[in-house]
């Protein structure tokens, strides 16, 4: 038996969370077309007869502009200290940028074995895959490479087999039916934030944070009461999230409740409240409270 931790890194929107969900076979990490969707390290667990692979999703590595950006990048570099292998994701449909180069330098510095994973193969011609590989090869030290499409499920088995070949011998560290280890409070907050990202535009997606303040189980009725605060930075954003006559918050609430009911197998009573927390992205203590789980 082999087992180990595998950090999945790449710049914002590279397709890290989509790939992890596709490999795990369940949505463990929220996905959106907006950059910086993932805000903290979270684990997706794959158990096979011969191996247990613990994939660590990380935020997109980028040039940080505020305390939130610094926190996100620290999650990425921190993950490199805790794992056996790194998957460096490169969106082959885009040009290689300074962010990719800086991240490659961090991965090299870690001394960990790395695999290059070219993502979004479905959007690329063969020449683009070659060009992306050639552009990163002088910068990133990698042992092997795989091209994948998470949406079309191409290259996934090849990738998993390569990952397993680099893992150390060891026992399973989590029960075989476990797909993630983060608590329902965080999963619920992420699901609610995803519904905000899906439905609200302009500056809202970058300025939203969600905190679940209450989860109460009513065993007899098979009912979960969940109460959450949706934080934004400005009053104008609060208006967008609430919508005219509450239409937007109602939509967000319905979508989140349906997914939470599916996830927990219980009836969910969800109450959402929107609150302005000015400039929270610059406030380290607030960020730590929300995202250091
Ligand atoms: N066509 C195509 N789109 C993809 C693929 N993988 C991801 N995407 C899209 O790329 C966008 C970003 O995907 P995410 O999985 O959220 O990317 P990420 O790297 O986790 O992003 P951050 O968490 O913001 O760093 C989403 O709109 C996905 O649907 C793929 O294989 N093919
Ligand atoms: Mg992500």
Q: Which CATH number belongs to the domain containing residue 283 in this structure? A: 3.30.300.20
Whether residues 116 and 151 share a domain: the answer is yes
Number of domains in the chain: 2
Q: Which CATH number belongs to the domain containing residue 38 in this structure? A: 3.40.50.300
Q: Render each residue's pLDDT in the chain as its tens digit; 293 residues.
A: 999 999 999 999 999 999 999 999 999 999 999 988 999 999 999 999 999 999 999 999 999 999 999 999 999 999 999 999 999 999 999 999 999 999 999 999 999 999 999 999 999 999 999 999 999 999 999 999 999 999 999 999 999 999 999 999 999 999 999 999 999 999 999 999 999 999 998 889 999 999 999 999 887 779 999 999 999 999 999 999 999 999 999 999 999 999 999 999 999 999 999 999 999 999 999 999 998 76
E strands along 49-148, which residues? 51-57, 85-91, 114-119, 144-147
Whether residues 160 and 20 share a domain: the answer is yes
Please indicate, yes or no, if residue 125 is contained in any of the structural domains: yes
Mutate to test the pocket of ligand 1, among 8, 12, 18, 88 (most ligand atoms within 8 A of CB): 18
Q: What is the SS3 string spanning 102-121?
A: HHHHHHHHHCCCEEEEEECH
Whether residues 19 and 149 share a domain: the answer is yes
Q: Is the alpha carbon torsion for 273, 274, 277, 283 positive or negative? A: positive
Whether residues 16 and 144 share a domain: the answer is yes
pTM of the model: 0.96
The alpha carbon of 128 and the centre of ligand 2 are apart by a number of angstroms equal to: 23
Domain that holds residue 27: 2-166
Whether residues 156 and 81 share a domain: the answer is yes
Our CA dihedral for 9, 12, 16, 21, rounded to 10 degrees, sits at 140
Residue 196, pLDDT score: 97
Please indicate, yes or no, if residue 131 is contained in any of the structural domains: yes
Which residue, judged by its Cα, is nearest atom 5 of ligand 1? 120
Whether residues 131 and 223 share a domain: the answer is no
Please indicate, yes or no, if residue 25 is contained in any of the structural domains: yes
Please indicate, yes or no, if residue 178 is contained in any of the structural domains: no
Choose the final residue of a domain: 166, 199, 227.
166
Please indicate, yes or no, if residue 174 is contained in any of the structural domains: no
- For residue 11, the ligand 1 atom closest to its alpha carbon is 25
Whether residues 44 and 188 share a domain: the answer is no
């Amino acid at each position: 038996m082999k087992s180990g931790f595998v950090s999945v890194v790449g710049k914002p929107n590279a397709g890290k969370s989509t790939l992890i969900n596709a490999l795990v076979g369940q949505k463990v990490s929220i996905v959106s077309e907006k950059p910086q969707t993932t805000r903290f390290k979270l684990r997706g667990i794959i158990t096979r007869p011969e191996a247990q692979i613990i994939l660590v999703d990380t935020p997109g590595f980028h040039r940080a502009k505020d305390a939130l950006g610094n926190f996100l990048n620290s999650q990425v570099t921190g993950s490199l200290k805790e794992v056996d292998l790194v998957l460096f994701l490169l969106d082959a449909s885009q040009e290689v940028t300074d962010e990719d180069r800086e991240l490659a330098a961090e991965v090299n510095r870690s001394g960990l074995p790395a695999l290059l994973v070219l993502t979004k193969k479905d959007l690329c011609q063969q020449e683009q895959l070659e060009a992306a590989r050639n552009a990163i090869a002088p910068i990133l030290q990698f042992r092997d490479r795989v091209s994948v499409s998470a949406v079309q499920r191409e290259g996934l088995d090849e990738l998993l087999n390569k990952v397993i070949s680099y893992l150390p011998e060891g026992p399973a560290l989590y029960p075989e039916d476990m797909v993630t280890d983060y608590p329902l409070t965080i999963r619920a907050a992420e699901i609610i934030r995803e519904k905000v990202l899906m439905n609200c535009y302009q500056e809202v997606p970058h300025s939203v944070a969600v905190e679940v303040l209450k989860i109460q189980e009513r065993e007899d009725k098979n009912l979960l009461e969940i109460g959450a605060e949706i934080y934004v930075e400005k009053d104008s954003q609060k208006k967008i999230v609430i919508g005219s006559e509450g239409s937007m918050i109602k939509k967000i609430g319905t979508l989140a409740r349906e997914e939470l009911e599916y996830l927990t197998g219980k009836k969910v009573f969800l109450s959402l409240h929107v609150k302005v927390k000015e400039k929270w992205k610059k406030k380290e203590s607030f960020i730590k409270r929300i995202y250091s789980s």
